[in-house]
Chains A and B, each alone.
Chain A
């Protein structure tokens, strides 16, 4: 198979996955942006005058990057997991299974589309919320690195969940009982530094905390832990999740019998 054919197959699957979520963008983009705005309005209204973070950062300013990253992570996961489980249950995955696409093509396309959706929703949340509080970019490179790594990891995790699940309930359970608690307890709404020692230690076991903290460092130049520590944890987690995902695709886990 020529390189042109390989690239065409991968790029077509990426295009199809992006087109899929874009065709229902009211549900896949507008809805999470609205949810993030509501979080900002409610938590910002309640806490803005009572909480300062990292010494001088206002609560609403602190909250915005957390909401952006939370939206990136949740939507990156939702994109690959929902697409795969829908295709499995409706049976149209057969169109992909009979195509000469390698497991790498599947991986790159599904994870790539998750990154695109995460970026689109994240940008939407940023554009919609940036008017509520002053925000500056201390180090845009950290923002890009953690945004990209976080979306890629969640895209790969969504792909694993989509391969494993046999019904929509299982994906919903994965989302509600794993992804949601880990994102909510990762410091999106608070600084982990403000927690009691036990819960602080527990938070440090959550890889999502490092994604949020490193991403936030890009805005404020300060964070709960060093961005290099966060990069090491996020990078390590990304490698493990991607390796597992590629392995499952290579053996055709639950898709080739």
Chain B
């Protein structure tokens, strides 16, 4: 039976930055694989190490230890093949102000050595422009584009050399609903056509909807790695939601998530729901619009991030 190479393989990846206050461990012994054709999510709070890990993958930073491979190509010793397999959409909204959209895409494709087949390449550029709603901006200078349009060009630049592995580093940060829809439809189509997608995002509903498997990073370490459905099923499966104007009783405040008037409390079973309601009644609280629902990825994420530190053996790993 033929062995299929992982699309991306992280093995014992470590990264230490030396700063004024001594060495800072940005990544600590990170190991996991992303299989070919997966739509994989990498989640974590700010400073967890997501962008550092992607920077090492892309060759923007060098690991202090461990190895990273893209389709079997080491990103350091076989960087050319590794980078040709990768399309990176960077987190920062960057652009070259000297060029038009079409010029920027032609130049980017040239860096990857695909300009020798100009006809096929220009046809692909036209397809990218059409799919990302940029057809009428092809000859506009990059400076003239709105933030959302510039974000679309970044996506097009990452895809212009038809990479089998696509990395999206918070691609929807600060962009409007229309672009999100356009972008996710297009990326989902590419995933269906066989492209592997690695996504980092703070929008957990996007990760839940799109990613078949997830890894969560906390302080540079993997704290969860599993199928999205398994993570949702395995952690607090019930969530009590209600609206309330009065402050929560102190015994509930610590385990609650409060957004304005909306309160969400994890409840593992019916008995726990009844206990919570009893505490509220005893405190004279009047919860409104009370509902009991399944926990979403945000709940899972918060439970894992706010939970006690885990050893590697406790991390849920399914590969």
Contacts and interface: CB of A to CB of B under 8 A. Distances in A.
B305 interface: no
B62 A257 contact: yes
B104 to A, nearest CB: 8
Given A9-B111, A16-B110, A99-B112, 12 more contacts: A5-B84, A9-B110, A12-B111, A15-B107, A16-B99, A24-B98, A92-B96, A95-B94, A98-B58, A99-B108, A252-B62, A256-B59
A94 B107 CA distance: 13
Interface in B23-80: 55, 58-62, 79-80
A79 to B, nearest CB: 13
A11 B110 CA distance: 8
- Give the most central of A16, A23, A100: most B CB within 10 Å: A100
B157 A95 contact: yes
Q: How large is the interface on B (under 10, 10 to 19, 20 to 34, 35 or more residues)?
A: 20 to 34
Contact of B111 (A2, A91, A99): A99
B223 interface: no
A94 B115 contact: no
Interface of A: 1-2, 4-6, 8-9, 11-13, 15-16, 19-20, 23-24, 87, 90-92, 94-102, 252, 256-257
14 contacts: A5-B114, A11-B110, A12-B115, A16-B99, A19-B99, A90-B95, A90-B97, A97-B59, A99-B108, A99-B111, A252-B62, A256-B61, A257-B61, A257-B62
Query: Chain A binding site: helix, strand, loop or mixed by DSSP?
Result: helix
Contact of A100 (B61, B81, B97, B98): B81
A5 B107 contact: no
Interface string B107-128: 1101111111000000000000
A98 B89 CA distance: 10
Contacts, number: 94
- Give the most central of A5, A23, A256: most B CB within 10 Å: A5
B92 interface: yes
Given A15-B110, A95-B96, A257-B55, A100 B84 contact: yes
Contacts of B95: 90, 92
Given A98-B59, A98-B88, A256-B59, A19 B113 contact: no
Contacts of B116: 4, 8
B60 to A, nearest CB: 5
Contacts of B79: 100
